[in-house]
Homo-oligomer: A and B are copies of this chain.
Amino acid sequence: MQPDLNKMMQEMAKAQQGMLKVQQELANATVEGTSGGGAVTVKCTGAMEFKSVKIKPEAVDPNDVGTLEDLVLMAVKDACLKAQQLGQQKMKPALGNLQLPPGLGF
């Protein structure tokens, strides 16, 4: 009898199913990062695959490239943050009782 192993394997199998489902959901979800009050908008999936960058013409000034670079960086970081937040939010319930050690899992 190996009750601990059996229970552990069952929980891992359940968590695995849940995580695969969540990863699929994340790949199909879109999040949006913005900066400068909407001057730059970046879209990526919940799996952090970048899909589009939109820049308002008024933010495009060859004499002030530094501001544009900052706005783009902020929008990209904002999109990443939202993808991560969505991931954590969806992943928690999927893991159920399984406590993955740090370094493993999402």
Pairwise interchain contact B55-A68, C-beta atoms closer than 8 A: yes
- Asked whether A31 is an interface residue with its Cβ less than 8 Å from the other chain, the reply is no
Pairwise interchain contact A50-B69, C-beta atoms closer than 8 A: no
Interface on A for B, CB 8 Å cutoff? Answer: 2, 4-5, 8, 12, 15-17, 19-20, 23, 42, 48-50, 52-58, 60-62, 65, 68-70, 72-73, 76-77, 80, 100-105
18 examples of A-B residue contacts, CB within 8 angstroms: A2-B4, A4-B5, A5-B8, A12-B104, A16-B102, A19-B103, A19-B104, A20-B103, A48-B80, A50-B77, A50-B80, A54-B69, A55-B72, A57-B62, A60-B60, A60-B68, A76-B76, A100-B104
